[in-house]
């Protein structure tokens, strides 16, 4: 089930190593950047933007699912690529905000909902990186059986991360300084 994009086993091994590397480096760098503070720059406007990016990603993920169910592969491929770009844009905005702002403390009455949701969102946002990238790699390679198998795991997690990001934002937004 290969296409003209087929890679040799060596090239596929390199791609997988790159995916695993990115999957480790991104969370480590994000965690380290929480210790960095750039004063004099105001990116306090970013949280509603990156929450909106999460919301748009969720909508487009569902649209991509509908497209592939309707056998509109080109539309599906385009929507997934947009979701990948939006996820990268989210990450850049998230980092930009957190290196220029102090963390906001949740002071609401629903901490028993907020904190477990936040923890699940954070953990799954780390887990989803290799899942999505490997799922994309199988499609790019033309191994649609493996792509479909991995999608059954990666899609719901990616969708959860996108939707929970919006919910977490809505819950904490009243407490932004």
Judge whether residue 3 has pLDDT over 70: no
Which tens digit of pLDDT belongs to each residue from 56-98? 999 999 999 999 999 999 999 999 999 999 999 999 999 999 9
Pairwise CA distance, residues 177 & 167, whole Å: 19
CA 65 to chain centre: 16
Which residue in the block uniquely carries the two structure tokens 């994309």? 136
Pairwise CA distance, residues 58 & 169, whole Å: 14
Burial track 21-46 (b if 16+ CB lie within 10 A, e otherwise) = eebeebbeebeeeeeeeeeeeebeeb
Q: Give pTM, 2 decimals.
A: 0.91
Residue spans per domain, the chain = 43-175
């Amino acid at each position: 089930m290969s296409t003209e994009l087929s890679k040799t086993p060596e090239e596929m091994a390199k791609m997988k190593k790159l995916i695993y590397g990115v999957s480790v480096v991104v969370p480590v760098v994000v965690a380290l950047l929480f210790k960095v503070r750039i004063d004099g720059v105001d990116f306090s406007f970013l949280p509603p933007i990156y929450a909106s990016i999460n919301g748009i990603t969720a909508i487009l993920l569902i649209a991509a699912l509908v497209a592939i169910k309707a056998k509109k592969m080109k539309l599906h491929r385009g929507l997934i690529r947009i979701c990948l770009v939006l996820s990268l844009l989210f990450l850049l905005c998230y980092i930009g905000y957190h290196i220029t702002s102090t963390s906001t403390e949740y002071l609401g009455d629903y901490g028993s909902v907020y904190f477990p949701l936040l923890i699940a969102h954070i953990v799954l946002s780390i887990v989803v990186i290799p899942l999505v990238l490997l799922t994309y790699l199988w499609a790019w390679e033309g191994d649609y059986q493996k792509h479909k198998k991995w999608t059954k795991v990666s899609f719901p997690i990616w969708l959860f991360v996108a939707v929970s990001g919006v919910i977490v934002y809505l819950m904490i937004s009243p407490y932004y300084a």
